[in-house]
Amino acid sequence: MKKIKRLSLTIDYAFKKFFVTRPDLLIDFLNAVLQKYNAFTIESVKILNPELPGESIDDKKAILDILATDSNGRMLNIEMQANCVRGFVKRSALYAFRLYVSQNKKGMKHEDIPPVLSINLLDFSLFPDARFHRVFRILDIDDPSLTLLKDLEFHFVELTKLQAGFAELTDPLEIWSVFIRNSETLTEDEMAVLESKKPEMAEAHKTLDEISQDSLARLQYDRRKYAIYFYEKELEDRFSDGMLHAKLATARNMLAEKAELSFVLRVTGLNEEQLREHGII
């Protein structure tokens, strides 16, 4: 049997395609995220933005989140973020606040505004310690047990921090996280281990294989993957250029203060050719 080249679910297009295809698996995933911190169980969901982008797939700034509501009216915004971007936490908060306010219809009582849950999966580290799942609400700073507002809840799942081996996996969210982060490279034996620990993963395995063999999905996935790659490269180049300009400015100022050239080169890490190229010496 020919080995299937699977899509990586850390690419937002594949993540959305996977869960839009199987809302029942989205329900299972959401309950895995929410079970530890909430008394309720999600029974059903309606995906409000199931469409996948066409030409806008190449837009590096496009955000392919999943917006859904459950049978009790709760609003859920689920996003897979592959790279660390400036202001990500504020962006997540802004979306949640905007979604919360948008539900305040004319004549509605404030107490009837549905809660909003923001669920963010990150393929990078955001917070300093080793915990891979963090939850934030609006709390009293001096008495965190007192919640001002339970209607806004933010989940951050840092996939890179999950260190448990396959044999040690027990928690449903850990199992889902391993599947999502390693979907592109999981072997059949590793898939079998996940399925033995959580039977729903057999359907997840099947669905991943099916969308990975869909030629249109593969084309869109590749376009999205390259758009993200070039965006990251652009950010890296901008950072490198900024560092170089800062070093050149430092060298120019030091030489203006009569510092020895050898000392300037040692401090800045530049060489004489770079200084000549930019007219500094």
Least confident segment among 69-78, 125-134, 239-248, 253-262? 239-248
- CA dist., res. 69 & res. 114, Å (int): 10
**Domain edges within the chain:** 12-213
Q: Are strands 147-158 and 133-139 parallel, antiparallel or unpaired?
A: antiparallel
CA separation for the pair 222, 239 (Å, rounded): 26
Give the span between the Cα atoms of 3 and 12, in whole angstroms. 23
- Residue 56, both tokens: 């806008």
Amino acid in position 204: A
Lowest mean pLDDT among 1-5, 89-93, 146-150: 1-5
Kindly indicate the confidence band of residue 225, based on its pLDDT and cuts at 50, 70 and 90. confident
65-108: per-residue pLDDT in tens?
899 999 899 999 999 988 777 778 888 999 999 999 998 887 88
- SS (HEC) of the chain: CCCCCCCCCCCHHHHHHHHHHCHHHHHHHHHHHHCCCCCCCCCCEEECCCCCCCHHHHCCCCCCCEEEEECCCCEEEEEEECCCCCCHHHHHHHHHHHHHHHCCCCCCCHHHCCCEEEEEEECCCCCCCCCCEEEEEEECCCCCCCEEEEEEEEEEEEHHHCCCCHHHCCCHHHHHHHHHHHCCCCCHHHHHHHHHHCCHHHHHHHHHHHHHCCHHHHHHHHHHHHHHHHHHHHHHHHHHHHHHHHHHHHHHHHHHCCCCHHHHHHHHCCCHHHHHHCCCC
- Which residues are CB-neighbours of 59 under 8 A, at least 6 positions away? 53, 227
In angstroms, the CA 8 to CA 212 distance is 9
Per-residue model confidence as pLDDT tens digits over 50-61: 887 655 555 555
Asked if pLDDT for residue 1 goes beyond 70, the answer is no
Beta bridge partners of 134: 156
Average pLDDT of the chain? 86
Taking every pair of C-alpha atoms in the chain, what is the biggest distance, in angstroms? 74
- pTM for the model stands at 0.77
pLDDT band for 208, please (50, 70, 90 cuts): very high
What are the φ/ψ torsions at residue 65 (nearest 5 degrees)? -90, 170
